[in-house]
Structure 1
Amino acid sequence: MNKKVLVLSASPRKGGNSEMLCDQFMLGAKESGNQVEKIFVGDKKINYCVACDGCKRNNGNCVYKDDMAEVLEKMIAADVIVMATPVYFYTMDGQMKTLIDRTVARYTEIRNKEFYFIATAADDRKQAMERTLEGFRGFTCCLSGAKEKGIIYGTGAWNKGDIKGSQAIKQAYEMGKNV
């Protein structure tokens, strides 16, 4: 069965390590006949949630007129969501956290999705990424029917391109192929 796969790449650095892993995941998913789209979060204008509750008063419509409404529609329509972030100070970057926070307007509509997580870090220990993964799990725990399907640990990747030739590159491709 072909699936709609949405890749959310939150690295502020185009062509960075986490984005390279996204691209490999996408390649595998496309080769398996899935419909795949990547959103480079840094290209989107997404304001911070200010807990004004405007979305509750406006049927899930945020008071901000930015790009998040479009991203949220795509998250709701997807079968599979890939969330990718570099690890900053042992947690996800601000771009990903801001995106997650802004789903509050319609998070109850993000139902029955398969989730894959991609994290890259300079540290070469997987344990260094656990707080990042717990952040993702905190989000998906709030979503009805969310299923964690896989994690790609891009360890030992500080400089742009460090991830090339790593096991994580191969793993990302294979995981995408098996969506």
Structure 2
Amino acid sequence: MKSGECVIRDDANSITEQIKQADVIVWATPIYYYEISGQMKVMIDRANSLYETDYQFRDVYLLSTAAENEDGVDHRAINGLKGWVACYPKSHFVGSVFAGGVDGSNTIKDHPALKKAYEIRKAIQ
């Protein structure tokens, strides 16, 4: 880990290098069982090699969807990502957008969360 690169040699190293050089990171995940997806968790874990590097990212966001639409569906996912962000003192969690009630491609169209995500995107530029 002191090298700033994961010891496992695969495509994750090129992804973590892009994370390291990014100004802003926007993670996106479906919510499964009120948590981030396993794939996102693995990528977060693989980014451990960045802890002791001169990473560039400062702002971190989360975009998430779930079939469930109740308040709090995304809270554990947000808290998990905040835990990751806390390991990088130069960065901070800025915010999240949650699209609940999404259980197919036709259910995201015109979802109010899309407007919020668009507004965040405009603010990043």
Fold-level match, TM-score > 0.5?
A: yes
- The reply to whether residue 174 of structure 1 matches residue 119 of structure 2 is yes
Superimposed CA distance per residue, residues 132-178 of structure 1 (whole angstroms, 9 cap, x where no aligned partner): 11111111011122122221011111122311101111111111011
Identity percentage over the alignment?
A: 35
Shift of 1:96: 0.3
Q: Which has the higher contact order (CA 8 A, sep 6+)?
A: 1
CA contact (8 A) 2:63 2:97 kept: yes
Task: Show the counterpart of 1:135.
Answer: 80
Task: Please give the alpha-carbon distance, in whole angstroms, between the structure 1 residues aligned to 2:65 and 2:122.
Answer: 20
Task: Show the counterpart of 1:119.
Answer: 64
SS at match of 1:62: coil
Within-5 A mapping of 1:125-164: 125-164=70-109
CA contact (8 A) 2:4 2:51 kept: no
Please list every run of at least 4 consecutive aligned residues from structure 1 whose deviation after the TM superposition is greater than 6 angstroms.
none
Shift of 1:104: 1.2
5+ residue gaps, structure 1, are: 1-54
Q: Across the two proteins, how many residue pairs are aligned to each other?
A: 123
Task: Please give the alpha-carbon distance, in whole angstroms, between the structure 1 residues aligned to 2:88 and 2:56.
Answer: 6
CA contact (8 A) 1:81 1:114 kept: yes
SS at match of 1:175: helix
Shift of 1:111: 5.1
RMSD: 1.5
Shift of 1:108: 3.2
Within-5 A mapping of 1:103-118: 103-109=47-53, 110=55, 113-118=58-63
CA contact (8 A) 2:58 2:91 kept: yes
